Amino acid sequence: MGLEKFGDREIYTLAESRTNKTGQNNVIVNGEGSDLNKRDALKGRAKRKTITQIMMLKLIDIAQKEGEPELEKSYWNTYYCQQNLFTADDRLYGKYCKNRFCTLCCSIRKAEMINKYHVVLKEWKTPYFLTLTVKSCKAGNLSLYIKKFIQGFQRITEKHRKRYQRGKGKKLIGIRSLECNFNPIKRTYNPHFHIITKDKEIAEVLLSEWLKLWTPKFARRPAQNIQKVNNLESGLIEIIKYGSKIFTEPDLKKRKNQKDTTQIYIKALNTILTAMKGKRIFDRFGFNLPKQNDKKQMPAKLLTEYNEWEYDISSADWINIKTGEVLTNYKMPSHLEAILSENIDLSMK
Ligand SMILES: [Zn+2]
């Protein structure tokens, strides 16, 4: 897969109102917006918005029941992410919530990150892919496990950085991301690091340090995975993910022609998001990114003639607030509709 498709960079947009002569509010937008002619991308956005909105209502419910007002507030922000869109001159502008569990924002952030890191990683001659994990745990222990994951990893890289500064050994260089799976049968959580290292030796050092750190009681060699990166692009896409999978297959080996049993374990998702809150999910170690000069903000633009669209859940699309026409013409496939209406597992533990 090429990286071109990620090229349509979109910067977060702020909209603000002021009334003009014709009675329509003027709108100030930031960023370059996105291309209104990319119909498939627009449909993808409608799909992500629909999934996100349905999920957020469920998560809000849980946050209320569990008495987590801060998380509840973030869920509401994501619920309203890109609720209203503005279009002018074939460009599309919206306001982003920037939360890590927002599928709308993540798809944009992911594209930016992949572009940024690809520049560096493509210079690595033999990058290695490493997965580090420990024995799965119960919900009540997940926060502690995730804390220990991040601390432990830092301790390892720090130790080798100091050694390297004393002229011994080598610096550990790579990127890592934290992910957590939920096993609905055992109702356990499996946090793990996905890592790309600069070379094989670094991956081997990390692996042996990890096993030593956690001891055989928690981490055994067969559960860890080390292999050469064959395709850097897909490796990067794999690693630059945020948080957790929304959809889970309860039958880990799914047979052909079987009814779609994909489930959304909403309580498990909330548990994972809570445990990961404020944690650095993605990080690099042992190197810096080259200075970027595209950081400068696009100048704000004043839109005097534009269309405004508001998202409507029953249409799974944005509706023109004046004409009533739909923006993307997205039609939710029946299997997705079924998953979202019937396969959300609301059990609390
Ligand atoms: Zn968002």
Quick: pLDDT tens for 2-61. Answer: 333 333 334 444 444 555 555 567 888 878 888 999 999 999 999 999 999 998 999 999
Please say if the pLDDT value at position 91 is more than 60. Answer: yes
d(CA 179, CA 235): 15
Q: Ligand 1 centre from 12 Cα, in Å?
A: 10
Nearest C-alpha neighbor of 244 from the set 205, 199, 279, 200 = 279
Of the ranges 19-28, 101-110, 318-327, which is most confident? 318-327
Q: Ligand 1 centre from 270 Cα, in Å?
A: 17
- Specify whether 278 is located in the same domain as 341: no
- Which helix (H) or strand (E) segment holds residue 51: the answer is helix 39-66
- Specify whether 200 is located in the same domain as 323: no
- What integer pLDDT is reported at residue 219 of this predicted model? 95
- Specify whether 182 is located in the same domain as 308: no
- Specify whether 276 is located in the same domain as 134: yes
- What integer pLDDT is reported at residue 294 of this predicted model? 57
- Specify whether 102 is located in the same domain as 14: yes
Q: Ligand 1 centre from 103 Cα, in Å?
A: 7
Q: Ligand 1 centre from 52 Cα, in Å?
A: 9
Q: Ligand 1 centre from 93 Cα, in Å?
A: 13
- What integer pLDDT is reported at residue 344 of this predicted model? 78
Quick: pLDDT tens for 207-230. Answer: 999 999 999 999 999 999 999 999
- Which helix (H) or strand (E) segment holds residue 74: the answer is helix 69-79
Q: Ligand 1 centre from 258 Cα, in Å?
A: 34
- Specify whether 136 is located in the same domain as 235: yes
Question: Whole-prediction pTM value?
Answer: 0.81
Q: Ligand 1 centre from 320 Cα, in Å?
A: 21
Which one is predicted more confidently, 76 or 114?
76
Q: How far is CA 106 from the centre of its chain?
A: 4
Please say if the pLDDT value at position 193 is more than 80. Answer: yes
Ion ligand 1 — residues with CB under 5 Å? 81, 96-97, 102, 104-105
Q: Ligand 1 centre from 280 Cα, in Å?
A: 18
Q: Ligand 1 centre from 94 Cα, in Å?
A: 10
Q: Which of 237, 254, 285 is the last residue of a domain?
A: 285
Q: Ligand 1 centre from 106 Cα, in Å?
A: 7
pLDDT band at 291 (very low <50, low <70, confident <90, very high): confident
Number of folded domains that form the chain: 2
pLDDT (average), residues 338-348: 76
φ/ψ of residue 181, rounded to 5: -100, 155
- What integer pLDDT is reported at residue 107 of this predicted model? 80
- What integer pLDDT is reported at residue 32 of this predicted model? 83
Please say if the pLDDT value at position 166 is more than 90. Answer: yes
pLDDT cut 90: percent of the chain above it = 54
- Specify whether 142 is located in the same domain as 233: yes
Please say if the pLDDT value at position 310 is more than 90. Answer: yes
pLDDT (average), residues 314-320: 95
- Specify whether 276 is located in the same domain as 321: no
Quick: pLDDT tens for 109-131. Answer: 888 888 899 999 999 999 999 99
Exposed, middle or buried by CB within 10 Å (0-12, 13-18, 19+), for 220? middle
Q: Ligand 1 centre from 199 Cα, in Å?
A: 35
- What integer pLDDT is reported at residue 31 of this predicted model? 80
Q: Which of 253, 285, 317 is the last residue of a domain?
A: 285
Nearest C-alpha neighbor of 172 from the set 188, 193, 192, 190 = 193
Token pair for residue 173?
Answer: 């260089």
Give me the residue label for tokens 């997705």. 336
Q: Ligand 1 centre from 97 Cα, in Å?
A: 4
Quick: pLDDT tens for 231-275. Answer: 988 888 888 865 455 666 555 455 555 556 677 888 898 999 899
Q: Ligand 1 centre from 158 Cα, in Å?
A: 34
- Specify whether 134 is located in the same domain as 277: yes
- Specify whether 94 is located in the same domain as 141: no
Nearest C-alpha neighbor of 309 from the set 128, 115, 92, 69 = 92
Residue 26's identity, in one-letter code, is: N
Which one is predicted more confidently, 211 or 99?
211
- What integer pLDDT is reported at residue 248 of this predicted model? 62
- Specify whether 261 is located in the same domain as 117: yes
Q: Ligand 1 centre from 135 Cα, in Å?
A: 33
Q: Which of 285, 315, 331 is the last residue of a domain?
A: 285
Please say if the pLDDT value at position 287 is more than 60. Answer: yes
Residue 26 β-bridge partners: 18
- Specify whether 245 is located in the same domain as 137: yes
Q: Ligand 1 centre from 98 Cα, in Å?
A: 5
Q: Ligand 1 centre from 81 Cα, in Å?
A: 5
Q: What is the mean pLDDT of the chain?
A: 85
pLDDT band at 158 (very low <50, low <70, confident <90, very high): very high
- What integer pLDDT is reported at residue 2 of this predicted model? 31
Which one is predicted more confidently, 311 or 333?
311
Which range of residues forms the domain containing residue 157?
A: 110-285
